[in-house]
Amino acid sequence: MSAGLPVVVSVAAALVLALALERLFPHEPARASWLANAGLWAVATGLRALVFGGAEWQVAAWTESARFGLLALSVQAATCHSAPPNTSARFGLLARAPAPVLVAVPMTVLGLDLVSYLWHRANHRLALLWRFHRVHHADPALTAVTSLRFHPGEILSSLPVRLAAIALLGAPLGAVVAFEAVFGAANALEHANVDLPARLERALELGLITPALHRRHHSVSRAEHDANYGTIFSFWDRLGRSRCPGASSDRFPLGLAAGSTGAPRSLAAMLLEPFRRATR
Ligand SMILES: [Zn+2]
Ligand SMILES: [Zn+2]
């Protein structure tokens, strides 16, 4: 079985659930840019496969077999008295001895989500990265379909960061698959144009990014879209002091200011957008 299959199933299921919730409890009327966003996703996914192939699974499988990474060191430290001597390459947090799955999976999900938070922050801070990331923010209608809208340049520049994080962490293959399945599902659900009951929303946002929190991240106001960078967990924004409160009852303009960029709707316009001059 391909390592990517559980991820595809998880993301597809989350997308279907998000689209169903949008029909049942819509936040506001919105017409999703299906053709353009799905087209951009297809181009980005194709280029990623062409350039990196299954590098993510290969790096994870290698760290697991070579026992490389932070998780391995931590487990070895706990078991060093009984571990047999070994001279093979063993490096990284999760690698010196096989980390138990109950340690490896949560540590991998936490570690890679933190790296994603930091990288997302860098995408807003660094002008070159923002050129590509603003294509995601420029969607005129924020819906679950926006979760497909990432420029190939953003996908190709972010993957080496994730590969390095997997190696340094020493995340085993199964844990990386679990992370990608949860991360992809969270990405689809938090873009949903949906209102949640206030009590449920308050409970969820203690630990997780809700659609209302991520909606703030798509606010036209720069002070608000330079906040709420998390994808799975909401506590990175609390720790990083980048949290902006958001509730389903909040109403505000979404997208990017007309002066900073248009709202490219066609696939060609989205692909060319990073190379257009735009003020922020
Ligand atoms: Zn962003
Ligand atoms: Zn988004």
pLDDT of residue 274: 93
CA distances from residue 32 to 12, 15, 139, 250, 264 in whole angstroms, order as listed: 17, 13, 9, 20, 13
Q: Flag whether pLDDT at 79 surpasses 60.
A: no
pLDDT of residue 131: 95
* pLDDT-derived band at 258, boundaries 50, 70, 90: low
pLDDT of residue 234: 98
pLDDT of residue 11: 98
pLDDT of residue 89: 53
Shortest-distance ligand to the CA of residue 143? 2
Q: What are phi and psi of 188, to 5 degrees?
A: -65, -45
Mean pLDDT of the chain: 89
Mean pLDDT of 232-246: 97
Max mean pLDDT range (29-33, 104-108, 167-171, 181-185): 181-185
pLDDT of residue 272: 93
**Could you tell me the distance, in angstroms and rounded to a whole number, from the CA of residue 24 to the centre of ligand 1?**
27
Ordered by start, the domain boundaries in the chain are: 33-79+88-275
The 10s digit of each residue's pLDDT in 23-65 is 999 999 998 989 999 999 999 999 999 999 999 999 999 988 8
**Could you tell me the distance, in angstroms and rounded to a whole number, from the CA of residue 280 to the centre of ligand 1?**
13
pLDDT of residue 71: 80
**Could you tell me the distance, in angstroms and rounded to a whole number, from the CA of residue 154 to the centre of ligand 2?**
13
Shortest-distance ligand to the CA of residue 190? 2
* pLDDT-derived band at 86, boundaries 50, 70, 90: very low
**Could you tell me the distance, in angstroms and rounded to a whole number, from the CA of residue 278 to the centre of ligand 1?**
17
Q: Give me the percent of the chain exceeding a pLDDT of 90.
A: 75
- What lies within 8 Å, CB to CB, of 83 at 6+ separation is 76, 96, 97
Select the more confidently predicted residue: 65 or 146.
146
Q: Please state, in angstroms and rounded to a whole number, the distance separating the CA atoms of residues 222 and 269.
A: 23
**Could you tell me the distance, in angstroms and rounded to a whole number, from the CA of residue 217 to the centre of ligand 1?**
6
Q: Flag whether pLDDT at 75 surpasses 80.
A: no
* pLDDT-derived band at 95, boundaries 50, 70, 90: low
pLDDT of residue 110: 98
Shortest-distance ligand to the CA of residue 150? 2
Ramachandran region of residue 277, left (φ > 0), alpha (ψ -120 to 50) or beta? beta
Token pair of 37 as six digits = 């966003």
Which runs of E-coded beta strand occur in the chain?
69, 92-94
Q: Please state, in angstroms and rounded to a whole number, the distance separating the CA atoms of residues 230 and 111.
A: 12
For helices 173-190 and 55-66, angle between their N-to-C axes, nearest 10 degrees: 140
**Could you tell me the distance, in angstroms and rounded to a whole number, from the CA of residue 123 to the centre of ligand 1?**
7
- 215, amino acid identity: R
pLDDT of residue 85: 44
Q: Is the dihedral of CA 92, 98, 99, 102 positive or negative?
A: positive
**Could you tell me the distance, in angstroms and rounded to a whole number, from the CA of residue 135 to the centre of ligand 1?**
10
**Could you tell me the distance, in angstroms and rounded to a whole number, from the CA of residue 213 to the centre of ligand 2?**
10
Mean pLDDT of 198-205: 97
**Could you tell me the distance, in angstroms and rounded to a whole number, from the CA of residue 24 to the centre of ligand 2?**
21
Q: Flag whether pLDDT at 80 surpasses 70.
A: no
Q: Please state, in angstroms and rounded to a whole number, the distance separating the CA atoms of residues 125 and 222.
A: 11
Shortest-distance ligand to the CA of residue 132? 1
Mean pLDDT of 152-157: 97
**Could you tell me the distance, in angstroms and rounded to a whole number, from the CA of residue 195 to the centre of ligand 1?**
21
CA distances from residue 122 to 118, 127, 130, 149, 275 in whole angstroms, order as listed: 6, 9, 8, 18, 19
Burial class (CB in 10 A: 0-12, 13-18, 19+), 86: exposed
**Could you tell me the distance, in angstroms and rounded to a whole number, from the CA of residue 62 to the centre of ligand 2?**
32
**Could you tell me the distance, in angstroms and rounded to a whole number, from the CA of residue 165 to the centre of ligand 1?**
20
- 236, amino acid identity: W
Shortest-distance ligand to the CA of residue 228? 1
List, in sequence order, every residue forming a beta bridge with 86; answer none if it has no partner: none
**Could you tell me the distance, in angstroms and rounded to a whole number, from the CA of residue 52 to the centre of ligand 1?**
23
**Could you tell me the distance, in angstroms and rounded to a whole number, from the CA of residue 133 to the centre of ligand 2?**
10
Q: Lowest-pLDDT range, 84-98, 124-138, 178-192?
A: 84-98
Mean pLDDT of 85-102: 60
pLDDT of residue 76: 59
Q: What is the DSSP letter of 69?
A: E
- 36, amino acid identity: A
pLDDT of residue 87: 42
**Could you tell me the distance, in angstroms and rounded to a whole number, from the CA of residue 145 to the centre of ligand 2?**
10
Shortest-distance ligand to the CA of residue 192? 2
